[in-house]
Amino acid sequence: MPKHVIVIGAGLGGLSAAIRLAYRGFKVSVFEKNATVGGKMQEVVSPNGYRFDTGPTLLTMPFVFEELFQSVGKTLSDYLTLLPLESACKYFFSDGSSFTAYCDLNRLREEIARVFPSEIENFERYFQYSKRIYDATAKHFIYNPLSFSRLLKSNPLDLLHIDAFSTAHAANARFFKDARLVQFFDRFPTYVGSSPYLAPATLNVIPFVELAFGAFYVKGGMIELAKAYHKLAEELGATFYFNHSITRILTSNAKVSGVQLANGETLTCDAIVSNDDAVHTYADLLGKKHIAQKYEASCSGFVLCLGVGATHEHLAHHNIFFTSDYEHEFAEIFEQKVMPSEPTIYISISSKSDTGQAPESKENWFVLINAPFLSPAYDWHEQKSAYRNFVVNRLKSLGFTHLEEQIEFEHIITPMDLKMKFNSFRGSIYGISSNKRISAFLRPRNRGMVKGLYLASGSAHPGGGTPMVTLSGKFAAELLMEDFKV
């Protein structure tokens, strides 16, 4: 009789694990508290023809997704279409200049030479520096479960290459004299919810990944990736239960024995893969409340989904409008724990690459502002409408003078929504921050603290982002199969 594995959550990590386990003959039951797959990879569709990705808006490392499908004898392109993007993002600086991060490296070099003419040689040195971090972390950290025995066997020189004792900002400032280029590279730690002024320079691996492997979008919306995972998992025999919330992980003799549902029903199993937030899994489902004090939450986000009844030719698919004082913005978010008074604004307009995402001659704006995790310092019940108006006025000051009258649809997402819908640690996006020197290496491991429990989420190893979460599911499944000698 096949071993029964319960997967808690149908985000990419849970789906990735479910696919591999079902393929290897396990009975897999996936329980999702919400009505759809995807975890934080969700969508909003308006009655008047606008569609928005409300989670990840860009893919990189496409080989991670391709390998998942290949591992079970399938081909990714049979399930969805990845659209390679011309550029990862267009950046607008406070001095009025702009810079486009093209995905073609030669074109990117030309753009750097045009915008930052004195920095091209420094960029080449920086690219090699970032590659060294990637090479040093790939085998022992990115592409394998976290293991201190594996780290002890690694080349000691690798530890020098990961630049763990500088902050990301300090390292970037060593390489570049132009403050705009420093600000550009300082943005990348925000991909995992961290501050470049606090996080270790090890996170400078992120720009290498984006610049070396390119940026992609999924035709029809990012949610199509989660739907493809779901379809494949069902084809392999996994069973899904939506609108089923698990409230407790049951144990017996220091080993998982089952789960309890919100309706009081209990189910037995041989193992559990939790795609739930790692802190929520331990603190709430296992009752180990002290775990929540061990970690600092990542930043969160304030989102406006705006159906805009106009087109803006100078905007790209992905756009960043930088603040004039980046350090102050992060101090407000992580130290004062309040919304930034002069925020950096990210605008994703997927209709630029996929015309079906908005009505003709109109645009779907996903507007994201980095936000603090939930705390008594900021009351979203009182501030939600006011901050919405502040952001719209800020956009108007950036040149979108008629934005208010162009808005045909609007939807707001706050950290409170993330906490309520996804059990996210303090309403954060990425669960756990990497703001301490070794915190990136101390995320919860994929083999859980109770026998038979495995973690597969962005708050567990190896971290946040669609490829990393997919790898987290892979590691959880591999460790489970190793323990069950399958």
Q: Residue 158: which pLDDT band, with cuts at 50, 70 and 90?
A: low
Asked if 387 contacts 339 with a C-beta cutoff of 8 angstroms, the reply is yes
Structure tokens at 397: 């000051």
**If you average pLDDT over residues 123-146, what whole number do you get?**
90
pTM of the predicted protein model: 0.95
- pLDDT at position 129: 97
Instruction: Please say if the pLDDT value at position 368 is more than 90.
Output: yes
Q: Which residues contact 179 (CB under 8 A, 6 or more apart)?
A: none
**If you average pLDDT over residues 459-468, what whole number do you get?**
93
Q: Could you give phi then psi for residue 91, rounded to 5 degrees?
A: -110, 135
Distance set, CA 95 to CA 22, 197, 328 (Å): 54, 22, 17
Please state which of the ranges 77-91, 131-145, 147-161, 223-237 shows the lowest mean pLDDT: 147-161
The 10s digit of each residue's pLDDT in 254-263 is: 999 999 999 9
Instruction: Please say if the pLDDT value at position 42 is more than 90.
Output: yes
| Nearest C-alpha neighbor of 256 from the set 4, 2, 1 | 4
Structure tokens at 391: 């952001």
Residue-averaged pLDDT of the chain: 94
Instruction: Please say if the pLDDT value at position 40 is more than 90.
Output: yes
Residue % of the chain over a pLDDT of 70: 96
| Nearest C-alpha neighbor of 91 from the set 14, 178, 160 | 178
- pLDDT at position 443: 85
- pLDDT at position 264: 96
Instruction: Please say if the pLDDT value at position 159 is more than 90.
Output: no
Q: Residue 455: which pLDDT band, with cuts at 50, 70 and 90?
A: very high
- pLDDT at position 143: 87
Asked if 177 contacts 450 with a C-beta cutoff of 8 angstroms, the reply is no
- pLDDT at position 127: 97
- CA 237, distance to chain mean position in Å, is 28
**If you average pLDDT over residues 179-187, what whole number do you get?**
98
State whether residue 256 is helix, strand or coil: strand
Measured over the CA atoms of residue 323, residue 55, residue 188 and residue 315, the dihedral's sign is negative
Q: Residue 436: which pLDDT band, with cuts at 50, 70 and 90?
A: confident
Instruction: Please say if the pLDDT value at position 441 is more than 80.
Output: no
State whether residue 116 is helix, strand or coil: coil
Measured CA to CA, the distance from residue 460 to residue 100 in angstroms comes to 33
Instruction: Please say if the pLDDT value at position 356 is more than 70.
Output: yes
Higher-confidence residue: 308 or 162? 308
**If you average pLDDT over residues 139-152, what whole number do you get?**
69
**If you average pLDDT over residues 64-89, what whole number do you get?**
98
Instruction: Please say if the pLDDT value at position 222 is more than 70.
Output: yes
- pLDDT at position 439: 61
**If you average pLDDT over residues 419-426, what whole number do you get?**
96
Measured CA to CA, the distance from residue 207 to residue 209 in angstroms comes to 5
Q: Residue 98: which pLDDT band, with cuts at 50, 70 and 90?
A: very high
- pLDDT at position 174: 97
**If you average pLDDT over residues 82-100, what whole number do you get?**
97
Q: What is the DSSP pairing of strand 300-308 with strand 407-413?
A: antiparallel
- pLDDT at position 165: 86
- pLDDT at position 148: 52
Sketch the domain layout of the chain as residue ranges.
106-213
